[in-house]
Structure 1
Amino acid sequence: MADGERIIKINIEEEMQSAYIDYSMSVIVSRALPDVRDGLKPVHRRVLFGMHELGMSPNKPYKKSARIVGEVLGKYHPHGDSSVYNAMVRMAQPWSMRYMLVDGQGNMGSVDGDSPAAMRYTEARMNRLSEEMLADIEKNTVDFQFNFDDSLKEPTVLPSRIPALLVNGTSGIAVGMATNMPPHNLGDAINAIVAYIDNPDIDVQELINIIQAPDFPTGGIIYGYQGVKEAYETGRGRIVIRAKTEIETDKSGRERIIITEIPYMVNKAELIVRIADLVNEKRIEGIANVNDESDREGMRIVIDLKRDAIANVVLNHLYKNTALQSSFGVNNIALVHGRPQLLNLKEIIKYFVEHRHDVVTRRTKFELDQAEKRAHILQGLIIASDNIDEVIKIIRGAQSPDEAREKLIERFDLTDVQARAIVDMRLRQLTGLEQDKLREEYQSLLKEIDRLKDILEHEHLRMEIIKNELLEIKQKYNDPRRTEIVYSSEEFNPEDFYADEEMIITISHLGYIKRTPLSEFRTQNRGGVGSKGSTTRDEDFIEHIYPASMHNTMLFFTKMGRCFWLKVYEIPEGSKNSKGRAIQNLLQIDPEDTVKAFIRVKQLNDEEYINSHYILMGTRKGIIKKSLLADYSRPRQSGVIAMGIKEGDELIQARLTNGKSEVLMATRSGRAIRFNESKVRCISRIGQGVRGITLDSDRDEVVGMICVKDKTDDILVVSEKGYGKRSSLEDYRVTNRGGKGVKTMKISKKTGDLITIKNVTDDNDLMIINRSGVTIRVAVSDIRVTGRATQGVRLINLDKKQDMIASVAKVISEAKMAEEDITESGILEKQSDDAQENEENKE
């Protein structure tokens, strides 16, 4: 060790901890967080104070930005010039600040994210509102501190007549904490502060009713109110902001989406690029072109849609996948007495009012001190004017000004300040008019002194001054709200992404499922060959076909007695000729299980509805079971047990009923039984059920079960070789459940065994699919009503002798849809909830 050298051993861990804490506190207090009183970070405060010192008021010419940055860097803010310039530029950007504090001239950047021009090219001056933030700063209203080199003094806070933290918000990342405060409308903020002044015990909810919600400079729509409420109550919350859009139709009839306002802090150019990327990646369908038509008049982004696209559906996809819907994470952290603190709405207002109270008190004391000093001088001047001849004689006889002051003090019992004022008095003040002015000024000052003392003695007068000044600010600078409020759920409803179109759902024997728009099918005359309806593997064939609406909930019942849930829009769409997707990829179904029945339910959250409706299930061996719909109202991904199935049996049908339906079960041997649903008692979800029909033999089995509410319906049965028969419901007498039933169709080798039973009217069509995948649509009105025991008529010609009918489904006829002005895009009548319930019960 060299002579005189001293090494101090320290613990590196403690030193690192101490150094990092010092650094973090410096960032927190001196850089990243705003002061709750004036709402400014040090750099913004120094920029405004520097401009004030340069005399750059709104009525003065602009000065180069480089001049301002140099002033701030050299005197107050020893950091990079870009940080100062960027801070100044942001205060001049109308899309960044709700109320701009700097009046910029030149290229100050753009909402597209363009950088501002270099500081040597742009100019700036103070805005009118920033003058209000610096008003009375020369009246000892705030504390000053030395700058970085102790050569000058700068304010620790601005007197700020406006609640800048509320009206302009702020954002910043410190060490271990961050702040993100939204801007507000000036009028709303002042109204809330005035309400607090009038009633300091006002609660947060009452303040929320006044201030309503943030008001962003770029407008937009606040979508959902819960996040706003949480932010005001706790200081933290998530506010969802949506772009403001309109939907227009051009001359050719195509729709287009017009975006006129975007969420706060969203880059317009990046937003358009993102939309284009999504279109190119085919993640959003229906968009033909995106064009930015924004100009000085305002923002206008035009999204042209394809002819078959639905604007609301495309718009909801844009909300989900782009910044057209963004969230603003509120985190109201600001410096309170030099310490970071999380603040709710009332606390922000409270600390601002306290600051204004301190400013008004200090200003009043300053003004009182100045008034008393002036009154003191005026007293001396008035004494001098009353004895002007003697005063002049004393001054003329003195050898020096100091001697004159001493003689005046001794003669008239004056103070040194008064004597100096008399000696410095100009000759014009000796005139009578000037002497009268002195007395008037003195009397006026005495009144002013009394007023100022009264203000200092009574807090309510100071609060009244604060309130009046705020209302004056509101009158001068208030403007209408820009951001609308929509009181609805912040979360996306998946149904918003799909138009409520009607579909045909097909399920193949090997378990492939798809949804296809009904418009792909067409009606043919009875006996036609049909059109190709689906492409399947050679050993596969279409086994089930069901009508459904996109927003319906589908309950799938498998042959092993389990129930699964899917929304129709969750089922993959496929063309008429596609095979669909394996149902095991959509539902967690056992590989040996298959879907056998399906029920369409509009809503599962209507308590009254689900507790007054039932699920009626039938099995291949003639067992029937009834359970409340409420037992199936809580979807589970893995499904639930719907019915206990015995070995060798399987579920074949499930129907939604209201408890008052007539039940018909038909067997392969051509027999059917009719009984009232009330004969089947309601049991729990995992029960096995009771006997519905007795089978003729071990080979016999149930092929279908229907529930009829409207007794005007006819009963239609179809055999596997393409024969069908329509007969009256009254041909089937009502019996008790469990019997063998009556003959419903004359079965022969020509007809083949019975495969289905349906309840129909003339307003129905039949969708028939055979095992080879051929589809035909047959109008029920073309099938005449015959006796119960007849053979029936041919419905479809089978090309191959070994071919057979695989599935039959009932839909609304095209004639009925045309009559009610319903296009082929729908399969279900546009009807009321009651009518829909009736339709479901009749199926």
Structure 2
Amino acid sequence: MAEHTQNIQELTLEDVMGERFGRYSKSIIQDRALPDIRDGLKPVQRRILYAMNKDGNTYDKGFRKSAKSVGNVMGNYHPHGDSSIYEAMVRMSQDWKLRNPLVEMHGNNGSIDADPPAAMRYTEARLSKIANMMLQDIDKNTVDFVPNFDDTEQEPTVLPARFPNLLVNGASGISAGYATEIPPHNLGELIDALVYLLAHPNADTTALMTYVKGPDYPTGGILQGLSGLKKAYETGAGRVVLRSQTAIKSLKGGKQAIEITEIPYEVNKALLVKKMDEIRIAKRVEGIVEVRDESDRSGLTIMVELKGDADAQGILNYLLKNTDLQITYNFNMVAIHNMRPERIGLKTALQAYIDFQREIITKRTRFDLDKAQQRQHIVEGLIKALSILDQVIATIRASQNRKDAKQNLVKQYDFTEAQAEAIVTLQLYRLTNTDVTELQKEHDQLTKDIARLSDILANDASLRQVIRSQMQAIKKAFATPRLTKIEAEIEELKVDRTVMVADEEVVLMVSHDGYIKRSSVRSYQASSADDNGLKEADYPILLRKVSTLDHLYMFTNRGNLIYRPVHEVADARWKDTGEHISQSIGLADDESLIAAFTFNSLDTTGRFVIATRMGLIKQTALADLLPGRTYRKHAQVYEKFKSPADYVVNIQFVDHAAPLTVMLMSQHGLGLRYDLAEVPTNGARTSGAKSMDLRDGDIVTNLQLVADTDEVMIVTQRGALKKMAVSEVPVTSRARKGVLCLRDLKAEPHEIVDFVSFPAKSQQPVEIITSHDIRHDILPMDHALNARYSNGSFVIDIDTEGLPVAIRMKALALTLS
């Protein structure tokens, strides 16, 4: 019992978990997910290639069942699930994933639509011809071998790799703390770069990029962004844009179609087609008739058929921007270099491969030299034996046995053990004169080979020549033309809204309480104008015939601006209420819409005039209130208040240089008028300047932009209405006190609740709204003009109808042609 207790260790959980996780991380980084910089393979891939090669399952022999190879790999080298081994084998056979596939497969090996491959019991596989180059000379002590998982076999730690597989076929993987994304490249370009680097070891990335133009994806496509590409090749991390190869084709009947013949690397074609068809069904783009996948064994083709009047380039730009027809490819070139994960650039990868090939060729040359020297030694012994053949035969015949014969040959004629062994095993037919000549020829050839091999080991120039010749032979045998086109600049995709939205005339309504809707002209005409779906207390602040391509701006009294393209406003029958703005953007309890405007274009030159109840005023250009990306969920601030009790009383839009004046009226009955030019222009998140000199708790009731010939109607808290000429208030300067516009009473003085302006002799009715939601329609023509010092006439019984809260021009029914 005492012995057992001595083995118990007290360790903290942090130490145990840290140490165990560290070991686990090291294992999956080095032995699972990341490729080796030398042969570009992960362990499972290396084991598959080695096992298939050892089994004779090579390109020059017949195909074998994949299950046999998978079982062989799993049983001898890779003690993991058969599905992971088979998936790795299948990927190495997929010509849309690898630029130069390492496995050939008969049967269903998946598809670019991400269809699963057939089960391994159905498919057959063998190594491809280029995979043979990965394993060439593995039997010449070129690479280190280690015991397999159960010490019954030996497996290589790396393959000799006659070509730079890491960059040719790329790699992707995720391990603990590291991920890798290395794109495939063109074999011919890489070999040209390697040959150049071999002759110019100090070459920089720019020089190497004259040979390696960029990635060469098996799926082709167009790569854009040379600056991102150069950064990726220098640092191992960078971003480029990869887009499909497309063309706009003319069809019969004046129609057009977008033909897609190449898609970005590792994009699922079936999902891409589905996404484009969903855009057609949802009518997010106008003009797409049909999306068809016409791919067959001759190649990939996707046809997007368009209407005759469709903007083909505009629709293509939309699809590039909103589907995987164009993707962003992020380089993250991480590989195992010197037994540790490292982010590598282009030169590091190429130099590491050259260094590895130096090592491989040196080991192979040493192996070949040892073999040649051993053989030459034997040949020299055989030639010597044939020159004294009679004595040798006599010696052998006089010997008691094979061992004795060998000893006698060594003793009497100075043969070595190896030579004596070769002599006693010599067959009788070799004792002909011709064989002596053949041996002499072989001896001469061996002498040349030994000299050549010794020269390779002794001279770096000779070694470089071998590397160069080897790589050029690979290029001649396996190089293919580039598939991916490289473009220097990333094209900015601009999508005209006319592509996405049909230009249609609709009736738009925005209510004071925050309900918005658009209805077809037909729905509006089929209903009564008053039957607008609003509650009794609510009323429209905007009612207009607009285009679906127009822009809607809605302003709240709390300084928030809500933007909507008209086509995004909920389409509803005229009798329906529509959607409330709070369904997408929350409003405060005391917040309401006070003004709404529509614009044909956001490039309109114009400005808003904004006034607050606490006496602030400013102008803000439309250009300073353009919507941001988050306009659907977040309101934009257009006015910043200095006091939480302040709010905006009115906003008006000015898009011309007419000589307008600003007219303000305060609750205490003061009116002030000055030129609009005196109002400063400020940005959105500003308060503005002083509009009026307010005293004794006075507040601004409203703002109107008026001409000298206009008239105003004022409503007071006692229910009095007064019509007055604008010219009664003289034009002075901003921030003054103003002049009295009511007759001063000592008992129950009148206070201005609100006022509205209109052209002289206007026929449009004015509406007064009370606190009891009672509306009074008044025709301005029915009321005479009053002097500035009068209080007008009573029109509302405040005891029964409630206090007046607002006066406004009544929205008239639209006359639609």
Q: TM-score, normalised by structure 2?
A: 0.68
Among 502, 510, 513, the alignment partner of 2:512 is 510
Aligned match of 1:572: 569
1: CA distance, partners of 2:27 / 2:577: 66
One-letter amino acid matched to 2:351? K
Superposed CA deviations along residues 373-397 of structure 1, whole A, max 9, x for unmatched, are 2233333344445555655555565
CA distance in 2, matches of 1:39, 1:648: 67
The change in CA–CA distance for 1:179 and 1:559 in structure 2 (over 3 A counts) is closer
2:124 counterpart letter in structure 1? E
| Equivalent residue, structure 1, for 2:9 | 10
Residue 445 of structure 1 deviates from its aligned partner by 2.9
- Please say if 1:639 is aligned against 2:637: yes
Structure 1 SS opposite 2:146: strand
Q: In structure 1, what is the equivalent of residue 61 of structure 2?
A: 60
8 Å contact from structure 2 (residues 147, 153) kept in 1: yes
Q: What are the within-5 Å matches in structure 2 for residues 30-45 of structure 1?
A: 30-45=31-46
What displacement does 1:355 show?
Answer: 1.5
**Aligned residues of 1:683 and 1:689 also touching (Cα < 8 A):** no
Aligned counterpart, 2:92: 91
For the structure 1 residues 308 and 631, does the alpha-carbon distance in structure 2 shift closer, same or farther, using more than 3 Å as the test?
Answer: closer
Aligned residues: 708
- Unaligned regions of 5+ residues in structure 1, if any? 522-529, 605-612, 668-674, 692-697, 707-716, 721-735, 739-744, 754-771, 773-802, 815-843
Post-superposition Cα deviations, 1:578-603, rounded to whole Å, max 9, x if no partner, equal 98766776798983553366777766
Q: Conserved in 2, the CA contact under 8 Å of 1:652 and 1:703?
A: no
CA contact (8 A) 1:240 1:490 kept: no
Identify the residue that residue 784 of structure 2 maps to in structure 1: none
- Which residue of 2 is the match for residue 297 of structure 1? 298
2: CA distance between counterparts of 1:373 and 1:385? 19
CA distance in structure 2 between the partners assigned to 1:551 and 1:97 by the alignment: 49
Aligned counterparts of 1:749 and 1:332: Cα–Cα separation in 2: 75
**Match of 1:201?**
202
Question: Against the structure 1 CA distance between its residues 746 and 362, is the aligned structure 2 distance closer, same or farther, given a 3 Å change threshold?
Answer: closer
Would you say the 8 A contact 1:559–1:650 is kept in 2? yes
In the TM superposition, what is the alpha-carbon distance from 1:513 to its structure 2 partner? 9.0
Using a 3 Å threshold, how does the CA distance of structure 1 residues 215 and 676 change in structure 2: closer, same or farther? Answer: farther
Superposed displacement of residue 132, structure 1: 0.5
Change over 3 Å in CA distance of 1:358–1:299 after alignment to 2: same
Compared CA separation, residues 565 and 350, structure 1 to 2 (3 A): farther
- C-alpha distance in 2, partners of 1:222/1:654? 47
SS at match of 1:140: coil
Q: What residue is the counterpart of 2:168 in the other structure?
A: 167
Q: Is the Cα contact below 8 Å between 2:52 and 2:126 reproduced in 1?
A: yes
Aligned equivalents of 1:598, 1:445: Cα separation in 2: 93
Cα distance in 2 between the residues matched to 1:326 and 1:417: 66
2:477 corresponds to? 476
Q: How far is 1:172 from its partner?
A: 3.3
Identical aligned residues as a percent = 36
Q: Map of 1:165-244 to 2, 5 A cutoff?
A: 165-208=166-209, 210-222=211-223, 228=229, 231-237=232-238, 241-244=242-245
The CA deviation at 1:126 is 1.4
Residues 273-315 of structure 1, C-alpha deviation per residue, up to 9 Å, x if partnerless? Answer: 5666677777787666554433212233445567887666666
> Residue 111 of structure 1 aligns with which residue?
112
> How far apart, CA to CA, are the structure 1 residues paired with 2:640 and 2:155?
77
C-alpha distance in 1 between matches for 2:34 and 2:252: 53
Look up the SS of the partner of 1:594 in the other structure: strand
Superposed CA deviations along residues 444-482 of structure 1, whole A, max 9, x for unmatched, are 333332332222223343233323322322222222333
Aligned equivalent of 1:155: 156
C-alpha offsets along residues 154-208 of structure 1, whole Å, 9 cap, x if unaligned?
Answer: 2111101122222222333434544443322323333443343333333445545
Contact 1:38 1:165 in 2 (8 A): yes
Measure the CA separation in 1 of the matches of 2:528 and 2:658: 35
Q: Any idea what SS the aligned residue of 2:125 has?
A: strand
Q: Which amino acid aligns with 1:345?
A: L
- Partners of 1:18 and 1:245 lie apart in 2 by 53
SS of 1:125's equivalent in the other structure is strand
Aligned equivalent of 2:741: none
Q: Which amino acid aligns with 2:364?
A: R
Q: Partner of 2:595 in structure 1?
A: 595
CA contact (8 A) 1:514 1:574 kept: no
User: Aligned partners of 1:477, 1:208: CA distance in 2, in Å?
Assistant: 21
The residue correspondences of 1:197-596 to structure 2 (distance < 5 A) are: 197-208=198-209, 210-222=211-223, 228=229, 231-237=232-238, 241-248=242-249, 250-251=251-252, 256-272=257-273, 290-303=291-304, 323-324=324-325, 330-387=331-388, 391=392, 394-395=395-396, 398=399, 400-410=401-411, 412-425=413-426, 433-485=434-486, 498-499=499-500, 508=510, 510=512, 537=534, 540-541=539-540, 543=542, 550=549, 564=561, 566=563, 568=565, 572=569, 574=571, 591-592=591-592, 594-595=594-595
Tell me, in whole angstroms, the C-alpha distance in 2 between the residues paired with 1:399 and 1:467: 56
1:4 Cα deviation from its structure 2 partner? 8.7
**Which AA in structure 2 matches 1:43?**
V
Q: Deviations over 1:204-248 (max 9, x none)?
A: 455456434433333344465676555444434566544544555
Summarize deviations over 1:725-779 as a string: whole Å, max 9, x none. Answer: xxxxxxxxxxx999xxxxxx995477999xxxxxxxxxxxxxxxxxx9xxxxxxx
Structure 1 Cα separation of the partners of residues 140 and 707 of structure 2: 92
Instruction: Give, in whole Å, the separation in 1 of the partners of 2:491 and 2:517.
Output: 30
Instruction: For 1:676 and 1:488, locate their aligned partners in 2 and report how far apart those are by CA, in whole Å.
Output: 51
Query: Take 1:705 and 1:215, find their aligned partners in 2: how far apart are those partners?
Result: 69
What per-residue deviation string (whole Å, max 9, x for no partner) do you get for residues 53-85 of structure 1?
Answer: 222221212222233233323332333333333
Kindly tell me: are residues 453 and 547 of structure 1, through their superposed partners in 2, closer, same or farther at Cα, counting changes over 3 Å?
farther
Change (3 A) 1:306 1:11: farther
- 1:136 to partner: Cα distance: 1.0
**Aligned partners of 2:445, 2:194: CA distance in 1, in Å?**
33
> Aligned ranges for residues 764-843 of structure 1 at < 5 Å?
none
> Which residue number in structure 2 is paired with residue 69 of structure 1?
70
**Residue pair 2:549, 2:600 contacting (<8 A) in 1 also:** no
C-alpha distance in structure 2 between counterparts of 1:320 and 1:494, whole Å: 8
Please give the alpha-carbon distance, in whole angstroms, between the structure 1 residues aligned to 2:213 and 2:362: 31
Structure 2 vs 1, CA of residues 178 and 443 (structure 1 numbering), >3 Å: closer, same or farther? same
Determine helix, strand or coil for the equivalent of 1:443. Answer: helix
Partners of 1:490 and 1:588 lie apart in 2 by: 40
- Equivalent residue letter for 1:186: L
Whole-angstrom distance in 1 between the partners of 2:465 and 2:344: 25
Q: Distance in 2 between matches of 1:418 and 1:240?
A: 67
Amino acid at match of 1:130: A
Give the whole-Å Cα distance in 2 for the aligned partners of 1:582 and 1:332: 51
Query: Closer, same or farther in 2 for the Cα pair 1:270/1:624, shift >3 Å?
Result: closer
Cα separation, 1, equivalents of 2:85 and 2:355:
30
- C-alpha displacement of 1:152: 2.4
Calculate the TM-score normalised by the size of structure 1: 0.66
Report how far residue 324 of structure 1 moved. Answer: 4.7
Amino acid at match of 2:335: A
Query: Would the aligned equivalents of 1:597 and 1:653 in 2 still touch at CA under 8 Å?
Result: no
Amino acid at match of 2:569: P
User: Greater shift after overlay, 681-690 or 256-265?
Assistant: 681-690
Distance 1:630 1:199, change over 3 A: farther
**How far apart are the structure 2 equivalents of 1:316 and 1:531?**
43
- When residues 508 and 311 of structure 1 are mapped into structure 2, their CA distance, relative to the original with a 3 A threshold, is same
- 418-427 vs 106-115, which deviates more? 418-427
Cα shift at 1:534: 11
For residues 558-707 of structure 1, the aligned pairs below 5 Å read 564=561, 566=563, 568=565, 572=569, 574=571, 591-592=591-592, 594-595=594-595, 615=607, 637-641=635-639, 653-655=652-654, 687-688=688-689
Of stretches 313-322 and 17-26 in structure 1, the one that deviates more from structure 2 is 313-322
* Pair 1:123 & 2:124 matched: yes
Aligned match of 1:142: 143
Go from structure 1 to structure 2 and tell me whether the alpha carbon gap of 1:679 and 1:73 turns closer, same or farther (over 3 Å shift).
closer
Aligned-CA RMSD value: 5.8
